[in-house]
Amino acid sequence: MRMIKRLGNFIAALFKGAWMAFEIRDFFVFGGVGMLGYGIYLLSELGWSLAVCGPLFMIIGYFMRDKE
């Protein structure tokens, strides 16, 4: 029982550390990169919209402020 409790505490600490490490800004930047890459890969009507929206998300992410 004690081993399961320690494992649960470890997993909770791991998720808490990951939650503190990432910001919404990271999701905008890397989501924009992913959308740009997938849009270039598709090269269709949906691809063009993703290829345009991706850099817009990246720009929004670049200009967001850091956590204080």
| Nearest of 20, 32, 21, 22 to residue 61 by alpha carbon | 32
Position 51 scores a pLDDT of 92
Give the global pTM: 0.68
Higher pLDDT among residues 23 and 37, named by residue: 37
**Spatial CA neighbour of 5 closest among 13, 16, 19:** 13
Taking residues 4-11, what's their average pLDDT? 85
Give the mean pLDDT of the chain.
87
- Identify the band that residue 68 occupies on the pLDDT scale cut at 50, 70 and 90: low
Residue 42 structure tokens = 């598709």
* Interacting residues of 59 by C-beta distance below 8 A, sequence separation 6+: 32
